[in-house]
Amino acid sequence: MRKRITPSGVGRRAIVRRSRSNAGLGALKKPALLLLLLLASGLPNPATAAECELTEQEVAHGAAAAPTGIPEDAVMAIDPFGARRALARHGIEVGGVYYAEVFGNWGGFDQGVEYDGVLELYVKADMHKLGFWKGLCFHADGYQIHGNSITAANIGSLMPVSSLEATDATRLFELWLEQHLFNDKLTVKVGQLAADAEFVISEGGGYFLNGTWGWPSITAADLPNGGPAYPLATPGVRVAFNPNEKLGLMVGVYNGDPAPPCNKAGGDPQRCNPHGLEFELDDPPLLMVEGAYKYNQEGLAGTIKLGGWNHFGDFEHQRFDSGGNLIAVTGRAGRPLDNNWGLYGIIDQLIWRVPGSEEPKGVGIFARFIGAPEDRNLIDVYFDGGVTFTGMFRRRPNDALAIGFAYTNISDEVSAFDRDLGEPVARNYDALIEVAYTFEVKPGFTVQPDFQYIWQPGGNVAGVDDAVVVGARSSIAF
């Protein structure tokens, strides 16, 4: 599953607040936005523009489009009145995936069993087949989200048990145009974008169910309202340059807050932007940059990524006010601080390859290291890593076993604030071990049993015990 779902506000104290200055994407106004759209469309020389080839992986789970308009791995070939086949002749594909899961827990602040589900629907189009220029792609997707978040209901961890957890809603997610140029070496994407679809991703983390393996807890907690990540996308521009098969560079600029301020549910961003239709442009921007190097792809394949982000908004010191006094004593706002940033490194490495495998399958290891300033953030250090076993059984080449550990460190300034406030315990860290198995029942239909153990949910909160979680997810493509 491509989307890594991190519910904004689940199990964490709202620390980072937005700035409403005029320095955001809204400052670009119509002329600059029009220029960005022209750059995306590019009006390229057809001889150098790549064909628009959107795969199911960009939408959900990795299946290629078929001439019938129905993905080759669709479990149910639903095509009322031949509509999907007719659309496919014009380069348009419509489809969806239904995800359902059940989790039960012991520990946390309560115990019980919860169900949640997500229906994802998408449309994608090769605009060249619709009469536009070569290499122009269109994509839109949306969700119908229902059920209960076990993290919010029972556990309160900083790393949500499921990447599907979100407030019940029917909402638009991404909506964009992407222009492929120079034989696919350069792509420009403009529209309503989600940074978690492309940045800070480890391939090994994609086999787990906990939300932190995608958009990690540090970005979800430190960026205003969780940042541009499921279920809240935001207007932005992403440019990717891949001069060859080994090297890649991505730069993304996003509106810095995916939801407007409001008083619904205590300012819950998912309530403030309930249908994904706000299209905010007046917030200080978020800049993300990531470089990647791939090596030995025919053997023990590996990928190294280095990246970072900078949010150009105003933030607050977590312990001291403008006068240098403890905010736990004065009750004043924290000292204003300009910008917020973070740096990260990622490695995915195959250490044993299945003999004769065309794709890099076998035993792999992965790790992510992320850091951010401690004075303005709830979380200042994040780490995860693990081992994956893929394609180990000849008759079940798409099954996978994944074992991983994730660690979320509460910044020293926040821990000190808790002590200043006289809390019975000071927050310090939240940790997780997860074991997940992906079982392919048939192409397009998977079941993933899952086990998680969470230490100190919420970072060490009085009255909240370590939690054991067991559950399973199923996904059906159609």
pLDDT tens digit sequence for 285-301: 999 999 999 999 999 99
Tokens of 384: 């995860």
Q: How far is CA 200 from CA 9, 34, 185, 289, in A?
A: 20, 29, 21, 10
Q: Is CATH 1.20.1090.10 what the domain over 25-477 is classified as, yes or no? A: no
pLDDT tens digit sequence for 388-414: 999 999 899 999 999 999 999 999 999
Q: What residue segments make up the domains of the chain, in order of their start?
A: 25-477
d(CA 403, CA 365): 10
What does pTM read for this prediction? 0.87
pLDDT tens digit sequence for 355-399: 988 899 999 999 999 999 999 999 999 999 999 999 999 899 999
- Mean pLDDT computed over every residue of the chain: 88
Tokens of 195: 């940074």
How many of the other CB atoms lie within 10 Å of CB of 129? 15
Share of the chain above pLDDT 90, in %: 77
Nearest to 28 by CA among 139, 176, 145, 190: 190
Judged by DSSP in three states, 435 sits in: strand
DSSP string covering 221-260: HHSGGG-SBTTB-EEEEEEEE-SSSSEEEEEEEEES-SS-
Query: How far does Cα 29 stand from its chain's mean position?
Result: 28
Judged by DSSP in three states, 177 sits in: strand
Tokens of 353: 């390859």
pLDDT of 38 above 70: no
What is the pLDDT at residue 25? 56
What is the pLDDT at residue 36? 47
pLDDT tens digit sequence for 137-188: 999 999 999 999 999 999 999 999 999 999 999 999 999 999 999 999 999 9
- Measured torsion, CA atoms of residues 178, 183, 184, 185, in degrees rounded to the nearest 10: -120
